[in-house]
Structure 1
Amino acid sequence: MTSHPTALTPTALTPTAALLTAAGVAVALLAACSPASEADVDAGADASAEDSTEQAAPQVLEDSSRLDEVLDAGSLAVCTTGDYPPFTELDEETGEYTGIDVDMARDLADHLAVEVEWVQTTWDDLMDDYLAQCDIAVGGISINTARSEQVFFSAPLMEDGKTPITRCENVDDYRTIEQINDPDVTSIMPSGGTNEIFAQEHYPDGDLVTHDNLTIFDQIVDGEADVMTTDRSEVLWIAHEYDELCAVNPDEPFDYFEKAYMLPRGDTVMKHYVDQWLTMALNDGTYEEITEPWFGDDVDL
């Protein structure tokens, strides 16, 4: 059953109460019709002026961003190592950069309507060079907590993890960290990056050697090294490029991380812009079009 509010019954007023009520109504009507005092008018005018000022005040922008500096300068300073294909590679003869992240940096610059100013760095000097000279750093850079203490990272481009690559006939010999962490196993890696950090941490008993990243896989092909533990994305590309080399555990990497671009720490305006651009590139076919020539269309990054 639905309940209803109890109806209120009007109460008859006594003659005195009726007079008081009538008087009160008359006073209220007079007050409503009487002109406002000068003080009331001034107060009302001040309030209106304040409201008008609040509505007309321009929006206060955040503190200046690196984004503003890039737009004012007309150039985007991009740090990259140039030694980590398929993400970044420098042709020493022509001075031209190629790679997935190189093309992505150019696309970002196109959206900003600015020129790219390339700053070559190394994995050993990446952070120092970035902080001193660059607006963004690209080229297969992994997100980790040590780097995150000094920079912001963009939204991630891909998930990744460390996994071995070796000569195809030796795949079963290097499926585990325990197999690789052996004095008789030579692990090769470039100096200064996360590959060296991973090897030092997980293969303390192994034979660890460093080599330049552009010809490092030739060392494995030639038998100068046994195995390299590197990012799954690089392993898949190398296995695509070298008939002699095979990925060991590409779908079961030893760890997990993401790849992204380095940005100025604390600059939320710059990060917001880059993240919005990345969202579009990852969903409108731009990123897929850039990566396809390097991996083919059958590799799931």
Structure 2
Amino acid sequence: MPTQWIKTLGLGLAFTFATTLANAATLKALTDPSFVPFEMMDPASGEMIGFDMDILAEVAKRAGFEYDLKTMDFNGIIPALQTRNTDIALAGITITKEREKIVDFSDPYYDSGLRILVRSNNDQVETIQDLKGKKVGTKIGSTSYNFLVQELGEDNSVTPYPGSSDMYMALMSGAIDAVFYDAPNVGYFSSTKGKGRTKVTGPLYEGQQYGIALVSGSPWVKKVNKALAGMKADGTYKTIYEKWFGTMP
């Protein structure tokens, strides 16, 4: 083989290898398009914004990867990770034993739970037991749906919705009596679009922790955890938290 061909081949292989490394450092990322204030579409810019989006951007910078972000209904996110159609996801994903069997999670980055939301003139619902016999909305594929079925039984009027906005609109229109869902999302809606028309009631149920989900065996888990730990240590996490939720407890 002529020397020039060898040089050309060597340069080509080097270029291919470098390209592969670059591509390997660009992760396919997924989020839910409507879990406010964790992730939501900014109508002005057309970009996804929110608490999770700020966390992802900072983690990526510190861990050393870029990402190509796509949106998907929440119930499709874990299956997408399981089939390796995506690499990483942030969408207020609760860490559960069942999910840990099929995907990897980062260390917890947010403490949450489940709350009840009703119309402001509803004084009959104070606990989850008061939801028996009533029409209750929650989100498809969420831990809140599983919890409701467990507490109220299969023969109840639990309606799973594909998006959180759908169940909130159903509540305000009177199509359902209550919403049972993640506490920060319920609280945010009640203080913004649902202000004066809805209220959060009852205790916090099933304390939960959110984690960044990655494909099983992902080499990025340790780097993601290191990034999260650094953000908490230097105050960056606190700054992001208070931007979206107010004073950090």
TM-score range, shorter chain: 0.7 to 0.9
Task: Indicate whether 1:246 and 2:199 are aligned.
Answer: yes
Task: Indicate whether 1:216 and 2:138 are aligned.
Answer: no
Task: Quote the residue 2:144 is aligned against.
Answer: 195
Instruction: Give me the whole-angstrom Cα distance separating, in 1, the residues matched to 2:208 and 2:49.
Output: 24
Instruction: Give me the whole-angstrom Cα distance separating, in 2, the residues matched to 1:144 and 1:192.
Output: 13
- The structure richer in strand per residue is 2
Q: Which letter does structure 2 place at the counterpart of 1:102?
A: M
Q: Which letter does structure 2 place at the counterpart of 1:162?
A: L
Query: Which region of structure 1 is more displaced relative to structure 2, 205-214 or 160-169?
Result: 205-214
Q: Which letter does structure 2 place at the counterpart of 1:229?
A: F
**2:221 alignment partner, one of 261, 268, 271:** 271
Superposition RMSD on alpha carbons, in Å?
2.4
Gaps of 5+ in 1: 1-68
Gaps of 5+ in 2: 1-19
Task: Quote the residue 2:80 is aligned against.
Answer: 129
Alignment map for 1:50-129 (pairs within 5 Å):
73-90=24-41, 95-129=46-80
Are the counterparts in 2 of residues 180 and 206 from structure 1 also a CA contact under 8 Å? Answer: no
> Identity of aligned pairs, percent?
23
Paired residue secondary structure (1:256):
strand
Q: Which letter does structure 1 place at the counterpart of 2:105?
A: F
Instruction: Give me the whole-angstrom Cα distance separating, in 2, the residues matched to 1:254 and 1:279.
Output: 27
Q: Which letter does structure 1 place at the counterpart of 2:57?
A: R
Pair 73,265 (structure 1): closer, same or farther in 2 beyond 3 Å? closer
Instruction: Give me the whole-angstrom Cα distance separating, in 1, the residues matched to 2:200 and 2:21.
Output: 41
Task: Quote the residue 2:5 is aligned against.
Answer: none
Pair 110,70 (structure 1): closer, same or farther in 2 beyond 3 Å? farther
**1:139 alignment partner, one of 91, 103, 106:** 91
1:105: how far off? Answer: 0.9
Instruction: Give me the whole-angstrom Cα distance separating, in 1, the residues matched to 2:226 and 2:25.
Output: 20
Are the counterparts in 2 of residues 70 and 76 from structure 1 also a CA contact under 8 Å? Answer: no
Are the counterparts in 2 of residues 76 and 117 from structure 1 also a CA contact under 8 Å? Answer: yes
Paired residue secondary structure (2:164):
coil
**Deviations along 1:13-65, whole A, 9 cap, x unmatched?**
xxxxxxxxxxxxxxxxxxxxxxxxxxxxxxxxxxxxxxxxxxxxxxxxxxxxx
Pair 144,286 (structure 1): closer, same or farther in 2 beyond 3 Å? same
Are the counterparts in 1 of residues 63 and 227 from structure 2 also a CA contact under 8 Å? Answer: no
Task: Quote the residue 2:236 is aligned against.
Answer: 286
1:87: how far off? Answer: 1.1
Runs of 4 or more consecutive aligned structure 1 residues displaced over 4 Å after TM superposition: 69-72, 91-95
Q: Greater Rg, structure 1 or structure 2?
A: 1
TM-score (norm 2): 0.80
Count of matched residue pairs: 225
Task: Quote the residue 1:158 is aligned against.
Answer: 110
Query: Which region of structure 1 is more displaced relative to structure 2, 285-294 or 254-263?
Result: 285-294
